[in-house]
Chain A
């Protein structure tokens, strides 16, 4: 039974893909192998097949065959929605696609990368190029739930999870990665917020059915990322011991002060990052200004020493 159904699904796809015009149901039932029985049962069979192919991501176009009789519909699969146009990619392009997919080979996106590679190798055969890069991406813990969260974003299914100690039910709009961590952009009550996937506590659940909410028309993920993580740059004057804090010296210009110290103006994306870097160099770096930053560094050191 399963063989027959698989065969019918392939034959239906091939017939709809090969046809230059929309095929009516009766043409399909009369010509595509696998449709048999009463008109009603063939009708049911066709509807189920159509749904299954659509669930697999195959776009079946539907159009009224006669503008006066809208019930009489025709079906077609446009090849440009089903197949990769091999002419779109040069051999150089294929080398890059191969390298890009290979990066994920040992990550949670490995399965997607593997199927993508099969398609890349189905365009013009094996990729033989000495530039092929054998590097790989090592995931963080958050990548384990990535594909399921992506499904929720793609299919507009609400998500339920525990975050920062409270239960949330959100409408997922997009995913982004920053500094190696994955973030979800989602509507939580009235606001669109970002959630760091690694901080989702315990299990999460997809709630409800596909397309259960519309994405706001004006939502732009790129603009959301820019505004939500915008922080004022922080500048500080610091003293650096001679021949120490080499990474900072590579990044910022120094002014000689005396035999022991040089002065440097450093700029970081935010205060936390700056304090972390300053403390990293132990007693080789000292903050001069701004005074609030100097006080904060001192406060943290005192709290630690007295801990």
Chain B
């Protein structure tokens, strides 16, 4: 944030209700939360001492206690409540609530509560032109979240799309994240100590297991380097998989891309499902496999 007089005034006015509701907060915490230095927070607090309502007697000024790096507000004057959310803050909260609604889809009580909060927010700030379309709903969020917090294993039945198999597994859940509108669970395989990613929509059963015994030994899964050329009609492949692209450059045939993948099962199916938009450059055995598989598939239609 630019430290202009006006932005500093805003920060000072935001500090008051925050300190009021968090009495005894330290200047170090304030500096961290407000993304400025401790020195800046101290200067802001010194400035606030001088501000208040017309009259400017001791009873009209904002009153703070600021000792040994600990701050409390005695009299906030009219700044007892925080400023309204800005439009950008409003957007972040509203979209976040829409995502939570999709994550907690199987909990009707939460659903009602989220819808109620969304209504309140949207009434308070109409005409914000940012929307989320067709967010997919997910199951088991509640159970997974509880297992993470309790540090328990999860017993799941997982449908692996890249292996086309269904398997019961016991995993140590680490965290949930969302990417490309899909919810994923990052978990540790307790046997191999390798981190694995599970698409939550592919979990078909889920229950909390025993207390996790997390091994300190984390094994890096081997990654395979794949070089491909993607034609311009299949840009969506690049957009969806940007997180595993390590290099890309434009060539006359399209975009030459180097990927690092953990699963050959996945890349094999991805190449065929985007046919003929992806040409495999290396490894050569992948290129051979892809051509032979396509020929085998053609023979299905003979």
Chain B interfacial residues counted at CB < 8 A: 101
Q: Is A225 within 8 A of B131, CB to CB?
A: yes
- The residues of A that contact B298 with a CB separation of less than 8 Å are 298, 301-302, 305
Q: Is B9 within 8 A of A138, CB to CB?
A: no
Comparing B18-26, B188-196, B217-225, B255-263, the segment that makes contact with chain A is: B18-26
Chain A nearest CB, measured from B267 CB (Å):
12
Within 8 A of B (CB), among A53-102: 53, 55-57, 79, 81-86, 88-89, 92-93, 96-97, 99-102
Q: Is A119 within 8 A of B14, CB to CB?
A: yes
Instruction: Give per-residue flags for B1-37: 1 if the beta carbon is below 8 A from chain A beta carbons, else 0.
Output: 0000111111011100110111000000000011100
Chain A residue nearest to B77 in the complex (CB): A14
Within 8 A of B (CB), among A281-307: 281-284, 286, 294, 297-298, 300-305, 307
Q: Is A283 within 8 A of B293, CB to CB?
A: yes
Instruction: Tell which of A32, A119, A135 has the most Cβ of chain B within 10 Å.
Output: A135
Q: Is A52 within 8 A of B6, CB to CB?
A: yes
Tell me if B65 counts as interface (CB < 8 A to partner A). no
Known contacts A101-B96, A176-B132; is A150 also within 8 Å of B88 by CB? yes
B294 partner, pick from A118, A199, A294, A305, beta carbons under 8 A: A305
Within 8 A of B (CB), among A197-218: 198-199
Chain A nearest CB, measured from B25 CB (Å):
10
- The residues of B that contact A56 with a CB separation of less than 8 Å are 6-7, 9-10
Chain B nearest CB, measured from A193 CB (Å):
15
Tell me if A31 counts as interface (CB < 8 A to partner B). yes
B contact face: mostly helix, strand, loop, or mixed: helix
- The residues of B that contact A173 with a CB separation of less than 8 Å are 129
- The residues of B that contact A300 with a CB separation of less than 8 Å are 275-276
Tell me if A268 counts as interface (CB < 8 A to partner B). no
Chain B residue nearest to A151 in the complex (CB): B88
Interface residues of B (CB under 8 A from A): 5-10, 12-14, 17-18, 20-22, 33-35, 47-48, 50-56, 77-79, 81-97, 99-100, 103, 113-114, 116-117, 120, 124, 129-134, 145, 148-149, 159, 161, 164-166, 175-183, 202, 204, 235, 239, 242-243, 269, 272-276, 279, 290-291, 293-298, 300-301
- The residues of A that contact B177 with a CB separation of less than 8 Å are 135-138
- The residues of B that contact A103 with a CB separation of less than 8 Å are 96, 99-100, 178
Q: Is B92 within 8 A of A104, CB to CB?
A: yes
A contact face: mostly helix, strand, loop, or mixed: helix
Instruction: Tell which of A86, A154, A305 has the most Cβ of chain B within 10 Å.
Output: A305
B273 partner, pick from A6, A109, A279, beta carbons under 8 A: A279
A122 partner, pick from B7, B17, B51, B117, beta carbons under 8 A: B17
